[in-house]
Amino acid sequence: MKLKNLLWVVVSLVFVFVSSSAFAAGVIKIGVQAPITGSFANEGQGIDNAVKMLVAQQNAKGGLLGKKLEVVTCDDEGTAVGGAICARKLVNNGVVAVIGSYSSTPTESAEPIYARAGVLQTSDATADSLTKHGYWTFFRNSCPNSAEATFTADFLVKDKHFKRIVVLSDYSSYSTDLADATIAALKKIGGNVIYYGKIQAGSQNFTPILTKIKSMNPDVIYFCGYYTDGGLIRAQEVSLGIKAAFVGGDSNDNPEFFKLAGKASNGVYMINVPRPDILPYPLAKEFLKDYQARYHMMPPSIWTLFNADGLRAIMYAIEKTKTTDTKKLAAFLHNLKDFPGITGPITFTKDGERAGSRFMAYEIYNNNQYKVVYKED
Amino acid sequence: MEIFLQQIVNGLAIGSIYALVAIGYTMVYGVMKLINFAHGDLVALAAYVGLTVLMQAFGMHITNLWAIILMFVITALFISLCGVVLERLAYRPLRKAPRLSAVVSALGASLAIENGIMLIWGPNIKVFPSNVFPNMRWHISGVVINSTQIAILLLSVILMLALYIFINKTKIGTAIRATAIDQDAAKLMGINVNGIIIAIFALGSFLGSIGGLFIGIYYRELYFQMGWIYGLNAFIAAIIGGIGNIPGAMLGGMLLGIFNVLIAGYVSNSWSEALTFVLLIIILIIKPTGILGERVAEKV
């Protein structure tokens, strides 16, 4: 008799525990997968900050579907392995959607895991391949490399009339993708690429390859890796007395670039989507004001704002469809058209690509000041 | 031709940094038969400490020259001390243990220092000011040489000569060589082996710290994992030259620097790292003790 009673107590206790954890879903969990540490730490922290701020604002308005939102952050260190580990952690944690990661490599390694688990993923990463796999869970909140590639080719050939073009990338999937797309776009409009080289990110000593490039007498060196290498490449280019212009792809556009390149920053061309503070949209101004009030600094870059837009689109979808069923959310997002965003109207195509965004070319003067020198039409 | 000479200049600058760092590996190996994997991270730590000292010194209204001297002196002393503390904490308790334990301890120390740097200075890159050495450039028939490269080369050669004289002409140097040959016999001759081991850790870390400062001054970008890449290259340099042999480490560093740039310049930049290891394998096959390594009789 006693034993039976005990058994009942145990069974009911177990039931209480199980049900409390299952129905503690009085919250909707939003995941952040971002490089909180590592070379892109400030970008990762920016994404995390932005998501936490928007979620806090939404919770202040009463959350979504009567539930509070909760942020779960995972540090992928910007690596492929880290991305896969984070994806499993976040899926096990029961998140509805994941914001991030910042760069393409960890985003790509996490994609299939989210797709299998049916967790929505929105990232600013720009490798074309990300939307080519056909995962219904993936939504790009920025624009792909191919859009930047076309713009870059036009700038180099049609606007600047460079005759001898050198392209440099690192080995990351983002960078090689962008380099390949740019070379293809250049060839299409008759650009003359005399050399395509790859550098080892973080190796710091770029003088051997630059000396080799010097002997080819290029007009321009186009580098589409990250600012941690780009700033050094520019500094070493100038100190080797190479006269070629330097054009940096979007990931060079970071204040650290100017610190690394020092005086050599002057005359550098940067190609990027508009900087946060020159976005014309009222939502952008409001976002920046809130961000500064909360964190006492500006977001590290435009990429923070893209990811914020990804989150806003997902929150909007939950609100409109009144569900957290990701199949329905994805269907809603795939048909989303001109939802007002921080970085301009948000429209997703059927393959999760964000339609219609604009690049600009800037010239750097006074070591860190920007001047728009070229934009399309 | 001028491109070739330019590559050699590039190679000598990076090579002398490798050489300075390689000496730390080779000295410790020579005396203790231990590969001190934490050495590369001490080099990275030196660059960070140097930057911090330099920033403080710039704030003290002293001339640039004094600020630089202060940076070198304080960093070198501090890192030498770190080397000694490292030996005391991570290696001495394991001196009688199997060699594998000491290697694991070395890897642990390496991770501890690397992550310590991240916790203290943060995960973002740090940038050295660009005006540490006066920024002068000379164009000699198409070859560009800057003042930093010359300073690095000169200071490295002076330091290495000083070390060579110290090891070969002084009493402590003789004691170090004796300890390297046979610790027990050295002990019987009245040499304080613990003292010698402390001395080599201090010396190796001292030269490594100068290497770390040069990395900061020359390349200017610091990130917390940078110790690994320089440590690995310097380690290869030490093996190429003949690990345990001090002139070998100097030669190995210079050769590696030049080999790297020639591969990057004339074969393929992408292959320079892979071919470095191929070179290492070839040298180990032809001469397992390295270029200047002496034949060591196997102890029975």
* Interatomic CA distance for residues A121 and A140, integer angstroms: 8
pLDDT of residue A316: 95
Residues B143 and B232 sit within 8 Å (Cβ to Cβ): no
CA B16 – CA B87 distance, rounded (Å): 25
Interchain CB distance below 8 Å, A211 and B265? yes
The fraction of chain A above a pLDDT of 70, given in percent, is 92
Contact B6 A209 (CB under 8 A): no
**pLDDT mean across residues, chain B:** 89
pLDDT in tens, A275-296: 788 787 889 999 999 999 999 9
Return residues 99-158 of B near A (CB < 8 Å). Answer: 118, 122-125, 127, 130, 137, 139, 144, 146
Least Cα separation, residue A24 to chain B (angstroms): 35
Q: Is residue B296 part of a domain?
A: no
- Report pLDDT digits (tens) over B184-197: 999 999 999 999 99
Contacts of B122 in chain A (CB under 8 A): 41
**Number of CB atoms found within 10 A of residue A16's CB:** 10
Domain map of chain A by residue range?
Answer: 24-143+281-334, 145-272+359-375
Measured distance CA(A321)–CA(A122) in Å, rounded: 18
Highest mean pLDDT among A216-225, A347-356, B138-147: A216-225
Answer yes or no: is pLDDT of B280 > 90. Answer: no
Best mutation target, B10, B150, B225, to test chain A (most A CBs within 10 A) = B10
- Residue B223: give the domain boundaries: 2-286
Question: A198 vs B269: CB contact, 8 Å cut-off?
Answer: yes
**Which residue of chain B is at minimal alpha-carbon distance from A168?**
B269
| pLDDT tens, residue by residue, A3-59 | 666 666 666 655 555 444 444 458 999 999 999 988 888 899 999 999 999 999 999
The confidence score (pLDDT) of residue B178 equals: 92
C-alpha A262/C-alpha B276 separation (Å) is 32
Q: What is the pLDDT of residues A304-361, one digit of tens each?
A: 999 999 999 999 999 999 999 999 999 999 999 999 999 888 999 999 998 876 688 9
The answer, yes or no, to whether residue B299 has pLDDT greater than 50, is no
Report chain A's terminal Cα–Cα distance, integer Å.
86
Cis peptide bond prior to A101, omega within 30° of 0: yes
B226 touching chain A per CB within 8 A: yes
Q: Which residue of A has its CA nearest to B223?
A: A39
- On the question of pLDDT at B300 being above 70, the answer is no
Main-chain phi, psi angles of B292, to 5 degrees: -105, 5
Pick from B127, B146, B223: CB nearest A239: B146
Domain count for chain B, please give it: 1
Q: What is the pLDDT of residue A17?
A: 52
Any domain includes B10: yes
User: Cβ–Cβ of B269/A256 closer than 8 Å?
Assistant: no
Answer whether B226 sits within 8 Å of A240, measured CB to CB.
no
Tell me what pLDDT residue B223 has.
92
As for the ipTM of the complex, it is 0.81
Residues B160 and B241: beta-carbon distance below 8 Å: no
A17 to chain B, closest Cα gap in Å = 38
Locate tokens 């610790």: which residue? B183
Nearest CA in chain B to A36: B123
Give the C-alpha separation, A35 to A141, whole Å.
17
Q: What is the 3-state secondary structure (H, E, C) of A113-138?
A: HHHHHCCEEEECCCCHHHHCCCCCCE
Give tens-digit pLDDT for A186-218. Answer: 999 999 999 999 998 888 889 889 999 999 999
**What is the pLDDT, as a whole number, of residue B110?**
95
Q: What is the pLDDT of residue A21?
A: 44
Examine residue B295 and state whether it is found in any structural domain, yes or no: no
Residue B300 lies in a domain: no
CB contact under 8 Å between B137 and A241, yes or no, is yes
pLDDT digits (tens, 9 = 90+) for B228-260: 989 999 999 999 998 888 889 999 999 999 998
Task: Pick A202's closest partner by Cβ from B10, B223, B260.
Answer: B223
Residues 6+ apart with CB under 8 A from A152: A182, A185, A222, A247, A249, A271, A359
* Strand A360-365, strand A369-375: pairing: antiparallel
CATH 3.40.50.2300 fits A24-143+281-334, yes or no: yes
Closest CA to A149 of A125, A179, A182, A127: A182
Contact B6 A232 (CB under 8 A): no
- Return the SS3 of A291: helix
Give the contacts of A276 (CB within 8 A, at least 6 positions apart): A284, A288, A298, A299, A301, A302, A304, A305
Q: A-chain residues within 8 Å CB-CB of B139? A: 241
Does domain A145-272+359-375 fall under CATH 3.40.50.2300? My reply is yes
The predicted model gives B281-285 an average pLDDT of 88
Instruction: Read off the pLDDT of each residue in A119-146 and give the average, rounded to a whole number.
Output: 90
Tokens 């392995």 locate to A81
> Rounded mean pLDDT of B98-120?
93
User: What's the sign of the alpha-carbon dihedral A266, A267, A268, A274?
Assistant: positive
Residue B94 lies in a domain: yes
Least confident of A86-95, A256-265, A293-302, B57-66: B57-66
B299 in any annotated domain: no
Going by C-alpha positions, the residue among B121, B109, B102 that lies closest to residue B85 is B109
Q: In this model, does residue B265 exceed pLDDT 60?
A: yes
* Residue B297 forms part of a structural domain: no
SS3 state at A357: coil
Contacts for B172 with CB less than 8 Å, ≥ 6 apart: B166, B196, B199
Question: Which residue in A166, A172, A195, A207 has the most chain B C-beta atoms within 10 A of its own C-beta, making it the best mutation to test that interface?
Answer: A207
3-state secondary structure string across chain B: CHHHHHHHHHHHHHHHHHHHHHHHHHHHHHHHCCCCCCHHHHHHHHHHHHHHHHHHHHCCCCCHHHHHHHHHHHHHHHHHHHHHHHHHHHHHHHCCCCHHHHHHHHHHHHHHHHHHHHHHHCCCCEECCCCCCCCCEEEECCEEEEHHHHHHHHHHHHHHHHHHHHHHHCHHHHHHHHHHHCHHHHHHCCCCHHHHHHHHHHHHHHHHHHHHHHHHHHHCEECCCHHHHHHHHHHHHHHHHCCCCHHHHHHHHHHHHHHHHHHHHHHCHHHHHHHHHHHHHHHHHHCCCCCCCCCCCCCC
Half-sphere exposure of B2 (CA within 13 A, CB side): 12
- Please state, for a pLDDT cut of 90, what percent of chain A lies above it: 68
Nearest to B65 by CA among B128, B153, B133: B133
Q: Does A209 touch chain B (CB under 8 A)?
A: yes
Both structure tokens of A79: 């690596």
Q: What is the pTM of this model?
A: 0.74
Side-chain-side CA neighbours of residue A14 (13 Å): 6
Q: Which residues of B touch A239 (CB under 8 A)?
A: 137, 144, 146
Using the Cβ of A217 and the Cβ atoms of chain B, whether some distance falls under 8 Å is answered with no
* pLDDT higher than threshold 80 for residue B207: yes
Window B:250-269, CB contacts with A under 8 Å: 260-262, 264-266, 269
> Does residue B289 belong to the interface with chain A, where contact is any CB pair within 8 Å?
no
CB contact, 8 Å: A42 with chain B?
Answer: yes
CB–CB of B219 and A241 under 8 A? no
Q: What's the pLDDT at A147?
A: 86
C-alpha distances (whole Å) from B108 to each of B48, B208, B236 are 20, 19, 20
Residue contacts between A and B (CB atoms, under 8 Å): 90
Which CATH number fits the domain that encloses residue B124?
1.10.3470
In a domain, B212, yes or no: yes
- Which of B127, B146, B229 is facing A256, going by the closest CB pair? B127
